[in-house]
Structures are given as structure tokens and as C-alpha cells.
């Protein structure tokens, strides 16, 4: 039987069934039409967005980081344009040979390159901040989906000389250390963006619009003087080599304004090339390392004695037989001196004399004086890792601890703290804040710590300390009157004093009208000499002499040779 004559074909289908199928078809067409109208009329932005995602890109526009200049306008940190290699992974279909060639140019593992190109992202960096010649070679390859983007890299002309003052930026041009971090908010610009159209190979064929223009960072003018900074760094480096020291630091302040004219530390690093950088090189020791200041603290104890009226400049103190027992501990002088005036206690750096003077005060009185000078608290200059040193509450002091703190043991400070505290003697007893940036006008007045009379009397004592018969004749400078104090202290290791030393000297000049203050710290000199008068004082003299002449400060003393004083052995300090 033929299929056409099958009895099944003679059966009539229900009329509702045909209508139902037709309704389903019409409903499907209606749904598609409604969806089409919805997408193309009501929500046309959806299709437009999907379409633009195939050819449109938003490109970030880098902002230029602000420049850093010294007080004279010489550039210390600038941003130079460089290129970075980036890719659109879905467009970067490289052959194995092309991947190997690109990886070779960029000095990277081809497996790392392929890993980045396999990322499910619209944008990936392949290599940041490459040299210009390498960028040209990459561009010449004309690889699909591989592009070059303009960025900025920080350059520091003075390299390691200003490394701890300036710090450095990371690959994203954000501050990581030093001034770059402390003032990052002012230096950092705000990146912009623009929308572009790209072809199938990812090449920009049309610049559509600027979404947000970039805002460049603000230029910063530091208080630092590049010439003074170079002097500080160079002479510190020479001293560390001569005395085979572990580390060291130099701080130079303007006594009139509190501006930081120089800050040098060693070991240092080259911020332009940080390939083999270690943590020890990064430490800004003048602000992060604390040490017992030793005899450099004696002038503050003496100033308190004068201020309270309990001793005078010429009051006599019996220091014989060169030792003083308090409880079960004994304080020693390096050499017995016998009867000394208060001024000679500073000049000869007598521990016994200073401890006897300190015994006239309550612990609270001494603590208040140390606190007013800023010890025991950070200076808050904005540098990373800045510490405040150690100044224990006075209620816990024992008599022997009060005595040793009077001459710089049992208390710890940073070099910057010590330098700032000495401003009270370079000025008329007031303490002003320090400034990293150049000031248009000096501060009117600071916080009064001592009277002007007290400051002048201690200033005279500090001048005696650098003359023959004092502890630092090697701090003298031809043509200038100098005042200052040496300090030598054992280093603490595991709670015990070891046979390692920190040598220090803090002083200012010219005494008739103090302009500059220089603080020097040499950590662990190991070539035989370790007293502050032998190790740190000569660095002070070299830095101060060069700085005064660089700034054109007029001499205040006859230009006579000081060689005799330099050859004379300084009076050893009492440790």
C-alpha cells in the first residue's frame, strides 16, 4: 500500500490544535520583536556597550610627579618619560617564535610572558619602565596586541649623596622612603583618562574624547642646600673609611630658622639603581637609630643648674678623687681633676662633677627639662620609621640612674633629636621646630626652655670645650669661634655594655652670632680611636668650615693657624 493512500491521512486534526500552534508561532515572533525593540530603542546602551567593548578602550594618562629642588633651585629629583610594555591578552596571539623574541628583548622568562598573556583581563603589563632603545626594538616587532605606554620614572641627579633625604619612588611612581614618602600627597599628581577607538590589531585609530585630564604634582623646594649636603656626605664617608666605622650620620641645621640644610647617612644607596639594596642601606639613621648620647647631654644638666639658680658659672665642684659611689655603683672620670668650676666640668667633661650637680635636683625636675627639649618623643617630620628614643618616667628613676642620665647614659636619642635640642644654646634658650622645606621667613619665636642668660653662659662653656685644654680642640676652625661638646658612649648589647662605642660631636658657629649647627655621629669606630674629640670633632670642623664659607658667613675671629691646637691631644672624655 502506497503511503499517499494511508488511512491516517484521512483523519481530520482538531481545529484548536492548528490555532494553538499558530498562536505559539505568533507569540514567539512577538517576543523576539519586543526584545528587539527593547534592546534597540529602550536599552540601546546595552548593545552599544557590547559593541564598544570590541573596539573602544579607556586609556590612563599618566600625571607628572612634582619635582624636588634644593633651596637654590637645583633639581634633586625629576620624572623622566619612559615606556612600558602592555598587552590586550585576547588580541596578543603570538607564535612561539614571536614570544621567545619578545621575552629575549625584555630579559624575562618566556613562560612568565605566556602566563601574563593568558590572563583573562583586558589589560596586563608585560614589563614596566624599559630603556628607550629596548622600547624601539619592541615597537619594531609590530606584534599583535602588544603595545607601549608612556610612563614616568624618577631620576635623582645626586644619587647616593641625597638618598636618605629624598628617598625614592616605586614602579607606580609613589613615594616609598624619605621626602618622596613624607610629602607624597603634594608631589603625586592625579592620573587622567581618555577614550580611544582601536582596530582589530589593537592599534589606536581614533581619539574619541578626554574623560579626565591629568593633574600634575606640585613642585617642592627643600630647605636642603645641595653644596652643604655634598660636604656632609663626603667628609662623613672619609671619616668612616679612616676609622673603619660601621655607620655614621651628619645633620646640619640653620640655627636661625630650624631648616634642615643637610642630612647624610652611611651606608647609603643609589636610588637610581636599587638592584642589590639591603635594609641596612635604607635606614635613615639620623631619625631611626637611637644611641646613648654620652657627654653631649652634660650641657643640658648644667643649664638646668644655672637656670634654677643653684649653681653659677664659677661655682666650684670637688671632683677628687675622680670617682663617686652612689649605692653599690661607682662613677669614674677618665682622669682625676680635683676642684673644678661648673664651666670646667663641661670643658673637661667630668662625669663626677656632672653627677654631683644633678644630685641637687629631683628626678621630676630633670625629666621635665629633658621632655621640654623633645627627648623621648618623635619629632614628627614625616619620615618613615622615625623614633622618639627612650626617656623613662621619672618615678622609676633610682639615684644612680639619675646620676648617669645627667651625663648621657640610661637615655637614648636620635641624632636629629640631639641636633634640635642644641638649638637652645645656639639661640637664646628657645627651641624652634625643624623644617624640611624652605621657609620664606624665619619663625618669630620658639618655645622657651632656658633663659637667654643661661643659654649664653652655657655657650661660653661649650666654646671652652673646643679650645686647648678641652675635649675637642680638633673642632676648631680658622677664622671662626666655635662651640660644641663631645660624646663617647659604650654600646648596649643584650642589656650589657660592650667594648663598642658611639662617638659624637654637636656644635655651632660662629659663636658671636650662631648661624649653623652640625651634629656628627660615628658608629663603632674600630681603627684604634673612638673618643668623640678624635673621631667626630674633625668631621664637624670640616663640614662646618666648608658650609660657613659656602653660605658666605663672615668670620668672627682672627685668621690664625689652629694647627697647634689640632696636634695637641684632647682631654679624654669620661665614659
d(CA 430, CA 380): 19
Q: Residue 262: in which H helix or E strand, if any?
A: strand 260-266
Order of strands, sheet of 192-198, starting from the edge strand that comes earlier in the sequence: 56-61, 192-198, 204-212
Beta bridge partners of 79: 154
Scored b (16 or more CB within 10 A) or e, 516-548 reads bbbbbbbbbbeeeebbbbbbbbbbbbbbbbbbb
The number of beta carbons lying within 10 Å of the beta carbon of residue 453 is: 13
Is 95 part of the annotated catalytic residue set?
Answer: no
d(CA 269, CA 347): 38
d(CA 455, CA 464): 14
Q: Which triple of cell numbers denotes residue 103?
A: 621575552
Diameter of the chain measured on Cα atoms = 146
In the block, cell 517576543 appears at: 31
Confirm if 570 and 472 have CB atoms less than 8 A apart: yes
Q: Which triple of cell numbers denotes residue 310?
A: 643653684
Residue ranges of E strands in 189-242 = 192-198, 204-212, 220-221
**What is the CB-side half-sphere exposure of residue 88 using CA atoms within 13 A?**
21
Confirm if 571 and 292 have CB atoms less than 8 A apart: no
In the block, cell 624618577 appears at: 154
Distances (CA, A) of 406 to 10, 77, 195: 124, 43, 68
**Residue among 84, 295, 406, 435 flagged as catalytic:** 295
As annotated, the active-site residues are 295
Amino acid at each position: 500500500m502506497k503511503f499517499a493512500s494511508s488511512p491516517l491521512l484521512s483523519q481530520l486534526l482538531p481545529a484548536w490544535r492548528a490555532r494553538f500552534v499558530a498562536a505559539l508561532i505568533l507569540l514567539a515572533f512577538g517576543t523576539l520583536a519586543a526584545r528587539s525593540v527593547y534592546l534597540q530603542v529602550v536599552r540601546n546602551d546595552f548593545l552599544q556597550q557590547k559593541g564598544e567593548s570590541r573596539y573602544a578602550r579607556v586609556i590612563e594618562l599618566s600625571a607628572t610627579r612634582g619635582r624636588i629642588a634644593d633651596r637654590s633651585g637645583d633639581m634633586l629629583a625629576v620624572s623622566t618619560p619612559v615606556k612600558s610594555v602592555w598587552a590586550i591578552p585576547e588580541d596578543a596571539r603570538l607564535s612561539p617564535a614571536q614570544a621567545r623574541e619578545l621575552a629575549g628583548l625584555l630579559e624575562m622568562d618566556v613562560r612568565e610572558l605566556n602566563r601574563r598573556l593568558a590572563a583573562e583581563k583586558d589589560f596586563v603589563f608585560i614589563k614596566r619602565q624599559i630603556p628607550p632603545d629596548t622600547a624601539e626594538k619592541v615597537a619594531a616587532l609590530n606584534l599583535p596586541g602588544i603595545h607601549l605606554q608612556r610612563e614616568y620614572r624618577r631620576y635623582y641627579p645626586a644619587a647616593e649623596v641625597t638618598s636618605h633625604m629624598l628617598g625614592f619612588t616605586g614602579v607606580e611612581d609613589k613615594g616609598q622612603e624619605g621626602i618622596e614618602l613624607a610629602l607624597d600627597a603634594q608631589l603625586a599628581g592625579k592620573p587622567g583618562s581618555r577614550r580611544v577607538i582601536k582596530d582589530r590589531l589593537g592599534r589606536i585609530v581614533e581619539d574619541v574624547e578626554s574623560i579626565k585630564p591629568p593633574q600634575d604634582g606640585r613642585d617642592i623646594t627643600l630647605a636642603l642646600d645641595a653644596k652643604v649636603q655634598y660636604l656632609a656626605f663626603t667628609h662623613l664617608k672619609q671619616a668612616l673609611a679612616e676609622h673603619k666605622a660601621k655607620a655614621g650620620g651628619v645633620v646640619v641645621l640653620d640655627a636661625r630658622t630650624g631648616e634642615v640644610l643637610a642630612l647624610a647617612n652611611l651606608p647609603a644607596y643609589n636610588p637610581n639603581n636599587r638592584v642589590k639594596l639591603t635594609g641596612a642601606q635604607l635606614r635613615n639613621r639620623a631619625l631611626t637609630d637611637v644611641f646613648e648620647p654620652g657627654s653631649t647631654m652634660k650641657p643640658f644638666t648644667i643649664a638646668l643648674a644655672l637656670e634654677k639658680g643653684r649653681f653659677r658659672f664659677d661655682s666650684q665642684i670637688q671632683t677628687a678623687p675622680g670617682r663617686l659611689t652612689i649605692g653599690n655603683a661607682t662613677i669614674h672620670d677618665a682622669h682625676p681633676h680635683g676642684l673644678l668650676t661648673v664651666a670646667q666640668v663641661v670643658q673637661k667633661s667630668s662625669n663626677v662633677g656632672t653627677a654631683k650637680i644633678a644630685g641637687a635636683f629631683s628626678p621630676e625636675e630633670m625629666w621635665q627639662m629633658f621632655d621640654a627639649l623633645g627627648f623621648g618623643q618623635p619629632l614628627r617630620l614625616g619620615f618613615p620609621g622615625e623614633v622618639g628614643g627612650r626617656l623613662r618616667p621619672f618615678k622609676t628613676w633610682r639615684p644612680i640612674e639619675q646620676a648617669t642620665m645627667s651625663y648621657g647614659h640610661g637615655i637614648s636619642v636620635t641624632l636629629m633629636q640631639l641636633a634640635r635640642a642644641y638649638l637652645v644654646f645656639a639661640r637664646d634658650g628657645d627651641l624652634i621646630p625643624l623644617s624640611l622645606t624652605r621657609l620664606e621667613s624665619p619663625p618669630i619665636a620658639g618655645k622657651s626652655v632656658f633663659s637667654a642668660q643661661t643659654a649664653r653662659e652655657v655657650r661660653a662653656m661649650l666654646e671652652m670645650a673646643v679650645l686647648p685644654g678641652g675635649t675637642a680642640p680638633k673642632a676648631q676652625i680658622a677664622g671662626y669661634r666655635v662651640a660644641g661638646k663631645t660624646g663617647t658612649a659604650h654600646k648596649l648589647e643584650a642589656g650589657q655594655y660592650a667594648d663598642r662605642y658611639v662617638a659624637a660631636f654637636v656644635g655651632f658657629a660662629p659663636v658671636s652670632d650662631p648661624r649653623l649647627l652640625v651634629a656628627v655621629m660615628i658608629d663603632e669606630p674600630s681603627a684604634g680611636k673612638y673618643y668623640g674629640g678624635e673621631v667626630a670633632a674633625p668631621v664637624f670642623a670640616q663640614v662646618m668650615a666648608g658650609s660657613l664659607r659656602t653660605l658666605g658667613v663672615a668670620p668672627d675671629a682672627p685668621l690664625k693657624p689652629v694647627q697647634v691646637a689640632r696636634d695637641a691631644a684632647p682631654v679624654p672624655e669620661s665614659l
